[in-house]
Amino acid sequence: MVERSIVFAVAYGLVILHDWIFIKSNMGKKERGVRYALLLIAIYMGFDYVTASDFYDLYDFVEFFLREPGTAIVNILTK
Amino acid sequence: MNRLQTISYRQMSILFFIFMTGSSSINIPGPLISKSDNAAWLSILIAGGLGLCMLACMLFLQRQYPDMTYVEYSQTLIGTWPTVILSIGALAFIWHTESGIILDISLFMVSSMQRESPLYIYSLLISIVSALAVRAGLEVMTRMFILIMIPVAFSIAWVLLMAIPTYSPESLLPIMPNGIKPILNGAYTAFGFPYAEVFLFAMLLKFTNQGQGSKLTRAMILSLLINIIVLCATTVCTIMAYGPLAGTTKYTLYMIARNIEFQEIITRIESIIGFALISASFMKASITLYVFSLFVTQLLKLNDYRLVVTPLALLGFLLTLVGYDSITQWGNISVGMIQPLWVWVSLAFPMLLLTLVAYFKKGNLQG
């Protein structure tokens, strides 16, 4: 858990450092909102990674819709 | 900061070739041969044909709307909210592609060359360098990638030529011992990766210099045709080198390079292919991240794509860490059961829909 925390902290810290150096402070409200939303998603995924909790992620969502039809198509093509 | 960056039609077509060929020439042969056996090259031809159809749709739309990207002409043709709904699948797929490319490099390094190192080291480093490349802009990326691609293409060609003594042409037969279904299965997989990813260039074609429309069309089609030939050649060489075992290994070009021995001087040159894979995958990851940033920026009507590059690169890195629960699940997602259907639903269907709408709108205007 310590190792994972360090990895996430380094990755997130690099983004914050980049913002501090390169991103102008006079960003519009919309730009600020979008950045914060993306960073919030990153915190959710980071927490999943650090705690090894297997939260719901993109592939769980995609598999929910496409696993069965995808498997059926592959079965038709392999039989 | 917001100056429109443009490149020539030649640069665009070379960028397209780099994107389509770079990592797929190393990753595709093994899994494809495991599905289609000796007819894998036929599967590539079929999938490549479908990719050409998709490219034709993109070029048609580009001629109708030369100053617009996919998101912009989609909003013009079908409206903002239908575009947003159709874009959810495309955005999810582009995110998956970005993290998949980065994960692929890491898995290659950990499985083949540096087995004691953790995955996240390579994922993080590639993500950082890709983000910095994307921030530099399309012009800088294109010029840099053309220079990188020259040694990559040379090293792949050199390995295939040096491996000639190991080839057994009789391994190419029989071609269809189990009928046509394995070929269709392979084509279905090959369209999922790499040919459906042609879609991503619908976001980039706008950045070609003005007045080069017809030259761009010819150059892009030629790039894709050369890509199909290169992938077929790589697959055929793999089958000739390994025979029945060709489908059992993933990084077949790497394994071919391992077996090269010339006059006991040139031996164990697989690190050349390692360099080629990392370079090619880095270029593809950068282009994908650029398209991802541009897509989000235009969909949400933001001012500058650079504002979202680093958060999206971070999301791509994090998805490599938490996205898949096992290698088996990753195999099913990446080339197995889900990705081929995913591309039909999220990329091919919207592209076809927009092409039809644009075609009938054009007909109405002329009529």
* Whether the model pTM is above 0.90: yes
The predicted pLDDT at position A19 comes to: 84
* Residue B357 in domain: no
Contact B63, B362 (CB under 8 A): no
Among B21-35, B37-51, B228-242, B311-325, which stretch is predicted with the lowest mean pLDDT?
B21-35
C-alpha distances in Å from residue B63, one per residue of B52, B298, B364:
16, 20, 17
User: In this complex, do B318 and A58 lie within 8 Å of one another by their Cβ atoms?
Assistant: no
Please indicate, yes or no, if residue B351 is contained in any of the structural domains: no
pLDDT digits (tens, 9 = 90+) for B259-303: 887 777 777 778 888 888 899 999 999 999 999 999 999 999 998
Residue A26's pLDDT is: 64
* Total of domains in chain B: 1
A interface mutation test: which of B121, B321, B327, B342 has the most A CBs within 10 A? B321
Chain A hits for B102, Cβ within 8 Å: none
Residue with the bigger pLDDT between A24 and B251: it is B251
Is A27 within 8 Å of B96 when comparing Cβ atoms? Answer: no
CB pairs below 8 Å between A and B: how many? Answer: 117
Verify whether the Cβ–Cβ distance A11 to B303 is below 8 Å. no
The 10s digit of each residue's pLDDT in B32-47 is 888 888 889 999 999 9
Q: Among B11-20, B169-178, B214-223, B293-302, which is the least confidently predicted range?
A: B169-178
Report, as an integer, the average pLDDT of B233-237: 92
| Enclosing domain of residue B130 | 9-322
Residue B113 lies in a domain: yes
SS3 B308: helix
Closest-CA distance, A29 to chain B, in angstroms, reads 10
What CATH number is attached to the domain comprising B73? 1.20.1740.10
Judged by a CB distance cut-off of 8 A, whether residue A45 touches chain B is yes
Contact B338/A54, CB-based, under 8 Å?
A: no
Closest CA to B314 of A19, A64, A24: A19
Residue B206 in domain = yes
Does residue B174 form part of some domain?
yes
Residue B58 lies in a domain: yes
A7–B contact, CB cutoff 8 A: yes
Give the whole-angstrom CA distance, residue A11 versus residue B127.
10
Amino acid B225: pLDDT = 96
Beta-bridged to residue B208, according to DSSP, are: B7
Tell me B112's DSSP state: I
Q: Which chain A residue has the Cα nearest residue B186?
A: A77
Contact A66 B301 (CB under 8 A): no
CA distance B324 to chain A (A): 7
CB contact under 8 A, B342 and A49: no
Task: Name the residue among B120, B322, B338 with its Cβ closest to that of A45.
Answer: B322
B158 and chain A in contact, CB less than 8 A: no
pLDDT digits (tens, 9 = 90+) for B56-101: 999 999 999 999 999 999 999 999 999 999 999 999 999 999 999 9
Residue B201 amino acid letter: F
Give residue B367's pLDDT.
55
Within-domain flag for B25:
yes
